[in-house]
């Protein structure tokens, strides 16, 4: 085609016209295309190939690719075209629909820049560092080239502004998982969990995306002063669900309920006739309760405390005192132990007490007092 005819055909195009062209040559900083239904060639500068910064035109297109383009400039013998503008127009329409519908978009992270990540969705999308994950990330270099899911959190076509969040997707999924778990939980279930946090009043256990509280009273069958005496952060534990408050998303758990009770196998551990060192825990009018194992108390009836007659157990025992006891009877089903202190005491030693003589007998021999009483009886 002569140069004059070429110029005539060029002038038949206007800025903003949409054209289709096939890539005939890929150079480092530009691309040459053959325009459909025309003998003309068009040129796409590298800056008009993508919404993102690219180093080589071959990173975006290859020879033979068919592209939809927009006329940027009409020069004397050539058209300057843009792929980026056509892609952006299509992209904004799609992105607005996805934004309105709250759709999740999956795409590749094209670049890591100061303050966040960059993606290409037909237009440049930015993911601020605070919206990448639900936790702090120090180094984002490993994210380049990764495919991630995003939600659009801000869209402004006029300002060419597109802000995305991966964190929103993660938190939404976590919320759904949490709700599903709440719906599936029932009192009495036994499940595995991991201790997440420990407080003065108990431990929070992660049971699969949601935390439940094990109150300090539910950590062990034994008395617990500090939760850290029983559990540690990161520890794997088995818990029983005590209660589920779905409205307030609160779950009450128990570790104690999953452990063998202190009375388990007590018939084998404390058979009739066995002897233990115990601690007097409580004293009542009819006897004393002595702890022989953590959480296992047996009753020493008042008649089994001493060989001599005592009016109250306090005459002989005090709370916290260590005593030796013998098992008289054991009933595992009713969780009862009958114990004896008396059985382990020597009778003659117990009865060797120094009784004080009556006031009127002072100054006399005991035999004389008894003799005088016998005389009175014979009268």
192 and 254 assigned to the same domain = yes
In this predicted structure, what is the pLDDT of residue 291? 94
Residue 311, CB-side half-sphere exposure with 13 Å CA sphere: 0
Apex 28 CA angle, 24 and 30, nearest 5: 55
Residues sharing a CB contact under 8 Å with residue 78, sequence separation 6 or more, in sequence order: 10, 40, 41, 42, 43
Q: Find out whether 29 and 46 touch, Cβ atoms under 8 Å.
A: yes
Region label for 209, one of left (φ > 0), alpha (ψ between -120 and 50) or beta (otherwise) = left
374 within some domain: no
The owner of tokens 């003799």 is 371
- Asked if 15 contacts 74 with a C-beta cutoff of 8 angstroms, the reply is yes
Cα dihedral 27→30→34→39 (10° resolution) = -110
> Last residue of a domain, which of 209, 235, 258?
258
| Residue ranges making up the domain that contains 61 | 3-82
In a shared domain, residues 152 and 215: no
pLDDT tens, residue by residue, 128-161? 999 999 999 999 999 999 999 999 999 998 888 9
User: Please, what's the largest Cα pairwise distance for the chain?
Assistant: 170
SS3 (DSSP) at 357? coil
Say which DSSP state 102 is in: T
How does the average pLDDT of the chain come out, rounded? 86
Q: Which residues contact 327 (CB under 8 A, 6 or more apart)?
A: 270, 271, 272, 273, 274, 275, 276, 298, 337, 338, 339
180 in any annotated domain: no
Take residue 171 and report the two structure tokens written for it: 């938190």
pLDDT tens for residues 85-101? Answer: 888 888 898 999 999 99
What dihedral do alpha carbons 287, 221, 335, 324 form, nearest 10°?
A: -40
The CB-side HSE value for 347 (13 A sphere, CA atoms) comes to 1
> In this structure, is residue 363 part of a structural domain?
no
What local confidence, expressed as pLDDT, does residue 347 receive? Answer: 66
Residue 361 is assigned to a structural domain of this protein = no
Residues 272 and 243 reside in one and the same domain? no
Say which CATH number the domain at 99 has: 2.40.50.140
Same-domain check for residues 76 and 91: no
Q: Is residue 335 part of a domain?
A: yes
Q: Are strands 161-165 and 30-35 parallel, antiparallel or unpaired?
A: unpaired
Nearest to 324 by CA among 349, 298, 303: 298
Low-confidence ranges of the chain (pLDDT < 70): 1-11, 347-379
Give the residue from 304, 176, 190, 199 showing the smallest Cα distance to 257: 190
Helices (H), 245-359: 266-269, 347-351
> Would 31 be classed as within a structural domain?
yes
In a domain, 373, yes or no: no
Residues 62 and 99 both lie in one domain: no
| Cα dihedral 310, 335, 220, 276 sign | positive
Domain boundary among 207, 242, 258: 258
| Per-residue pLDDT at 11 | 65
- 60, 82, 104 — which closes off a domain? 82
Question: What is the model's pLDDT at position 237?
Answer: 95
How far apart are alpha carbons 50 and 46 in whole angstroms?
8
- Number of folded domains in the chain? 4
The verdict on residue 59 lying in a domain is yes
Predicted model pTM: 0.53
Which of 351, 272, 354 has the alpha carbon at shortest distance from 309?
Answer: 351
Residues 218, 213: Cα–Cα separation, whole Å: 9
Residue where the block lists tokens 């383009």: 69
Q: Which residue spans within 130-222 are E strands per DSSP?
A: 147-156, 161-165, 190-199, 202-206, 211-215
Do 106 and 162 sit in the same domain of this protein? yes
């Amino acid at each position: 085609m002569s140069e004059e005819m070429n110029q005539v055909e060029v002038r038949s195009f206007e800025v903003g016209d949409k054209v289709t062209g096939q890539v005939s040559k890929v150079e480092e900083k530009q691309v040459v295309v053959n325009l459909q239904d025309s003998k003309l060639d068009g040129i796409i500068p590298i800056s008009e190939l993508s919404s993102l910064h690219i180093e080589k035109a071959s990173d975006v297109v290859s020879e033979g690719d068919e592209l939809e383009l927009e006329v940027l400039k009409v020069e004397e013998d050539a058209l300057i075209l843009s792929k980026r503008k056509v892609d952006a127009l299509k992209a904004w329409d799609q992105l607005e629909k996805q934004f309105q519908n709250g759709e999740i978009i999956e795409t590749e992270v094209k670049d890591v820049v100061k303050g966040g990540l960059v993606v290409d969705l037909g237009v440049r999308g930015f993911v601020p560092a605070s919206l990448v994950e639900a936790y702090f990330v120090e180094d984002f270099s490993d994210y380049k080239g990764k495919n991630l899911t995003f939600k659009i959190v801000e869209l402004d076509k006029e300002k060419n502004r597109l802000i995305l969040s991966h964190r929103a997707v993660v938190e939404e999924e976590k919320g759904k998982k949490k709700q599903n778990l709440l719906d599936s939980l029932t009192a009495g279930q036994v499940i595995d969990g991991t201790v997440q946090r420990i407080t003065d009043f108990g431990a929070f256990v992660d049971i699969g995306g949601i935390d439940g509280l094990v109150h300090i009273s539910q950590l062990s069958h034994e008395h617990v002063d500090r939760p850290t005496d029983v559990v540690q952060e990161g520890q794997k534990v088995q818990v029983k669900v005590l209660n589920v408050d779905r409205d307030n998303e609160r779950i009450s758990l128990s570790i104690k309920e999953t452990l063998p009770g202190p009375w388990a196998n007590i018939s084998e551990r404390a058979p009739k006739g066995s002897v233990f060192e115990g601690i007097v825990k409580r004293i009542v009018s009819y006897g004393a309760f002595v702890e022989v194992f953590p959480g296992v108390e047996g009753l020493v009836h008042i008649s089994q405390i001493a060989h001599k007659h005592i009016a109250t157990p306090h005459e002989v025992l005090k709370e916290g005192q260590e005593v030796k006891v013998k098992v008289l009877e054991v009933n595992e089903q009713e969780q009862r132990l009958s114990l004896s202190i008396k059985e382990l005491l020597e009778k003659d030693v117990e009865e060797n007490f120094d009784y004080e003589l009556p006031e009127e007998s002072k100054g006399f021999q005991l035999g004389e007092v008894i003799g005088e009483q016998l005389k009175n009886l014979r009268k």
